[in-house]
Amino acid sequence: MGTLLEWFRGRREAKIIRRIKEDGKKVYECVVQFKEALNLFLNDDLKGAQSAGKKVNKIENECDNLRRELLAELTKGELAPQVRNDLAHLINRLDQVANSANAAARRLVILKPEHVKSIADDLLEMVDKTIEGAEILRDTIEIEIEGKTEHVDASISKINYLEHVVDQIHYRILQKLIEPEYKDFSPFVALTVYQLIGSIEQISDSCENTADFVKIINLQAVRRS
């Protein structure tokens, strides 16, 4: 079994397969929890937003622990070098989704709602599209692991499209941030708002990067068939 897809098809009950599925679900949960923090924040529930932000951090730490366990598991057994390398890339790319959600949550909770009042609707739209992409990624990875790849290309195309939409919203927000009403914000606040928006975009970018790698895995299998 020379490719990762072939390995998936042959070892559906392997411990590492179960861990990857769990990791995919945790990563998605991390992104959803960030939206909860954002909703509370925009509704002026700063205490609730802080609590939700801590949950994002907790879930991201759980994802990190799973990643370490998975990478340690790769050193065991008799995996082909290509399979081991591809698994490591898949695990690390997936982990970047949770890392980006945690980065966004950390920046969110040090701001005040009035700092993002004029872009609140844009932020919510941006996060909704990001969650949609993360959900499709979670399901795509589960399908990939089961070796049922018939609809994977369509799912990856959808993730690519959603990332493009998020990019457009990101640009629209940046245009608003140069309006006169933002001129009285301190440089620190302006930088933190900018980093918050960038971190949200990075969640979507990381989903796309992971999905693109899944596509590479499938192309490798096609070339060998």
Query: What CATH number should be reported for the domain holding residue 23?
Result: 1.20.58.220
Indicate if the pLDDT at residue 103 is higher than 70. yes
- pLDDT confidence of residue 13: 43
Q: What is the pTM of this model?
A: 0.89
- By residue range, what is the domain housing residue 164? 4-224
Q: What angle do CA 80, 85, 161 make, to 5 degrees?
A: 130
How many angstroms separate the Cα of 103 from the Cα of each of 24, 54, 126, 223? 18, 12, 16, 38
Indicate if the pLDDT at residue 181 is higher than 80. no
Report the number of distinct structural domains present in the chain.
Answer: 1
What's the rounded mean pLDDT across residues 25-37? 97
Rounded Cα distance, 51 and 46, in Å? 9
pLDDT class of 123 with cuts at 50, 70, 90: very high
pLDDT tens track for 128-179: 999 999 999 999 988 877 766 777 889 999 999 999 999 999 999 999 888 7
Indicate if the pLDDT at residue 93 is higher than 60. yes
pLDDT class of 196 with cuts at 50, 70, 90: very high
